[in-house]
Amino acid sequence: MCGIVGAIGYETTTEILLKGLERLEYRGYDSAGLYINDQTGHDYLVKTVGKIATLKSAVKPTVQGSLGIAHTRWATHGQPSEANAHPQFSTSQRFYLVHNGVINNFTALKQQYLADTHFASQTDTEVLVQLIAKFVEQEQLTTLAALQKTLQLVNGSYALILVDRDQPDQLYIAKNKSPLLIGLGEQGNVVTSDALATYDLTDQYLELHDQEIAAVSADQVQLLTLQGASQTRQPITITVTDGEVSKGTYPTYMLKEIDEQPAVMRRISQKYLTAAGEPQIDPNLLTALAQADRLYFVAAGTSYHASLVGKRLFEKFTQIPVEVGVASEFGYHWPILAQHPFFIFLSQSGETADSRQVLIEAKRRGLPTLVITNVTNSTLARESDFHLDLYAGPEIAVASTKAYTAQIAVEAVLAKALGTYLKLPAAEEWSLQTQLGLAANGMETLVDNKQGWSDLANNFLGASQDAFYLGRGIDYDVSLEAALKLKEISYVHTEGFAAGELKHGTIALIEENVPVITFITEASTAGHTRGNVQEVLARGAQVLVIASEDCQQADDQIVLPQLTPELMPLLTGVCGQLLAYYATLQRGLNVDQPRNLAKSVTVE
């Protein structure tokens, strides 16, 4: 969601900014822009609606300089338009600003301080830049002081870069809630919301904490709190390799990431299990978890669906009760907690604002927290007591695939480790190494059958604008995820539901030829789900059955190797991904960057 890149001190600023924006495309955006200053009195502002390719073609060869800021915008306040795209600028055109986040009190600030100012956009961001200009131009504050004063008035989230045209050797930056990093390069410095944007320039990054400001020049960084207290901090190393961020020979990132899943399973096995198959988890984490009388999983979207699977794994192998919450709900409706709660957050990006607000409140209450994430240096990872990596490698396609299965595999490792620590026979006797190996092999067979999945998607989902996914127990959890996968990239209206709920309402929607994808991998409920299949067949639905070996019947279209039931989503999840992928491709849509969606959702 929104991306920021800034550079100072480089000769190739325009190229750095455009390349950086291209690398942030995956986060989701609808317009983009940049501001460049050559420090000899020339500056340039270019903004366009649509893809970075459009911005690139609007940037003339003359647009060169040694200071620049750039932005991809995902509209929150005001429609996607050139006027609303960033950089936003003051009426005097002295100040230029790019911003990620939301200024909650922008209307009040406008009324109180800027009643006479003419606004060129509908954005909350313009209020920031106009206020800074007002404090400099009318109250004679320095730019730094004006920025401090403005941010002290603000209620909201921000990661921002400000340029003062009269000081073209400085970038002023600030952060609250939204991520921002300063990259320390050899020739100059960069500022970015995601190290992917600038990984070829440096692997050394200074993190800004909430409510901090910095003045960044080509060879210096001055770090301050919002109140002006000087801060010092050591850089951290963030390495991203070319191979991880390029599509290679794949037509899309999503297909590459679906294909990477067997390797991710093997990597998780290597990282978290000894040669003898015993889990290796920080003993302090296990001790803290063992003291809990209830685990609270909190997450959003696909990570929420992986948390539902986590509940089943933890309750089975650790005997500790688990509650699962949607982050955006949990934060505003805290349940009555157990006596010794332990919070587990699942987040691919480690930046999701909805999850972070729950983490912050859990910390305020002094409760222990763990984050399971794919981004080691992300905000959530830094702010929790413990964190575990997914080792899935960067996930670029907006729709989460390999992070979902990696989350389930890491949950399984932790459930096994905790159950073994608690000396529970079910966990001690469970060979997770074998299960992850079987899962990797099963995934390989699935992804090798691309033509088969393309044909199934065409036959079952080709013509319909509706699709239903059903299952019971763990298969219900996967139904929710498979339905989300299809709807978010193909725009087909989908529902995932508990098969038993069918006759309590949803069956009214079943009509001739509507696709119903059914997961049947739990022997104890297979008979009932088969009954539901008959009910929809009788009403003309086209049914695709994905069953496990133990539950298979003669006409099932897909039969999967049998894993521990709670791990079947490692395979059924991939089936859902492949169906969604091909159904979307066949509709001629952009698989990697679906409309309206952002990869990293940094606003609540």
| Catalytic machinery residues | 2, 599
Q: Are 105 and 140 in contact (CB under 8 A)?
A: no
Please tell me whether residue 218 binds ligand F6R under the rule CB under 6 A: no
Please tell me whether residue 389 binds ligand F6R under the rule CB under 6 A: no
For ligand F6R, the binding residue among 189, 347, 532, 564 (CB under 6 A) is 347
Least separation in angstroms between residue 404's CB and ligand F6R is 8
Rounded to whole angstroms, the Cα distance separating 464 from 587 reads 11
User: Is 36 or 484 the residue whose CB approaches ligand F6R more closely?
Assistant: 484
Q: Which residues contact 512 (CB under 8 A, 6 or more apart)?
A: 539, 540
Please tell me whether residue 349 binds ligand F6R under the rule CB under 6 A: yes
23-31, 267-275, 349-357, 533-541 -> range binding ligand F6R (CB under 6 A): 349-357
User: Is 301 or 310 the residue whose CB approaches ligand F6R more closely?
Assistant: 301
Q: What is the dihedral of CA 576, 577, 580, 584, to 10 degrees?
A: -170
Q: What is the dihedral of CA 302, 303, 309, 310, to 10 degrees?
A: 180
Q: Output the CA angle 491-547-530, nearest 5 degrees.
A: 90
Least separation in angstroms between residue 499's CB and ligand F6R is 23
Residue 87: cis peptide before it, omega within 30 degrees of 0:
yes
For residue 86, the SS3 value is coil
12-20, 111-119, 346-354, 429-437 -> range binding ligand F6R (CB under 6 A): 346-354
Please tell me whether residue 37 binds ligand F6R under the rule CB under 6 A: no
Please tell me whether residue 355 binds ligand F6R under the rule CB under 6 A: yes
Per-residue contact string for residues 38-67; x = within reach of ligand F6R by CB under 6 A: ------------------------------
Number of chain residues interacting with ligand F6R (CB under 6 A): 14
Query: What is each CA distance from 223 to 161, 169, 216, 323, 358, in whole angstroms?
Result: 14, 16, 9, 41, 28
For residue 73, report the phi and psi dihedrals to the nearest 5 degrees.
Answer: -110, 135
Please tell me whether residue 388 binds ligand F6R under the rule CB under 6 A: no
Least separation in angstroms between residue 115's CB and ligand F6R is 38
Least separation in angstroms between residue 484's CB and ligand F6R is 6
Please tell me whether residue 176 binds ligand F6R under the rule CB under 6 A: no
Q: Give the chain's length.
A: 604
Q: Which residues contact 494 (CB under 8 A, 6 or more apart)?
A: 466, 467, 468, 469, 483, 484, 486, 487
Residue number of the CB closest to ligand F6R reads 301
Rounded to whole angstroms, the Cα distance separating 478 from 460 reads 18
User: Is 149 or 487 the residue whose CB approaches ligand F6R more closely?
Assistant: 487
For ligand F6R, the binding residue among 307, 348, 435, 577 (CB under 6 A) is 348
Least separation in angstroms between residue 588's CB and ligand F6R is 20
User: Is 281 or 300 the residue whose CB approaches ligand F6R more closely?
Assistant: 300
Q: Distance from CA of residue 15 to its chain's centroid?
A: 26
User: Is 143 or 303 the residue whose CB approaches ligand F6R more closely?
Assistant: 303
Please tell me whether residue 518 binds ligand F6R under the rule CB under 6 A: no
Rounded to whole angstroms, the Cα distance separating 325 from 333 reads 10
Residue 333: CB atoms within 10 Å:
8
Least separation in angstroms between residue 349's CB and ligand F6R is 3
Please tell me whether residue 580 binds ligand F6R under the rule CB under 6 A: no
User: Is 399 or 510 the residue whose CB approaches ligand F6R more closely?
Assistant: 399
Least separation in angstroms between residue 301's CB and ligand F6R is 2
Instruction: Scan residues 273-312 and list those touching ligand F6R (CB under 6 A).
Output: 300-303
Q: Which residues contact 41 (CB under 8 A, 6 or more apart)?
A: none
Please tell me whether residue 591 binds ligand F6R under the rule CB under 6 A: no
Q: Distance from CA of residue 509 to its chain's centroid?
A: 32
User: Is 268 or 484 the residue whose CB approaches ligand F6R more closely?
Assistant: 484
Least separation in angstroms between residue 190's CB and ligand F6R is 23
Continuous segment of H or E residues that includes residue 416: helix 402-421
Q: Are 63 and 48 in contact (CB under 8 A)?
A: no
**Could you tell me which of 154, 98, 139, 148 has the C-alpha nearest to residue 121?**
98
Question: Can you read off the two tokens belonging to residue 487?
Answer: 């709807």
One-letter amino acid of 596: N
For ligand F6R, the binding residue among 189, 198, 352, 542 (CB under 6 A) is 352
Q: Are 231 and 224 in contact (CB under 8 A)?
A: yes
37-45, 87-95, 275-283, 342-350 -> range binding ligand F6R (CB under 6 A): 342-350
Q: Output the CA angle 566-255-258, nearest 5 degrees.
A: 20
Per-residue contact string for residues 475-504; x = within reach of ligand F6R by CB under 6 A: ---------x---x----------------
Please tell me whether residue 400 binds ligand F6R under the rule CB under 6 A: yes
Least separation in angstroms between residue 28's CB and ligand F6R is 10
Q: Output the CA angle 455-456-457, nearest 5 degrees.
A: 90
Residues forming the site for ligand F6R (CB under 6 A): 300-303, 347-349, 352, 355, 399-400, 484, 488, 601
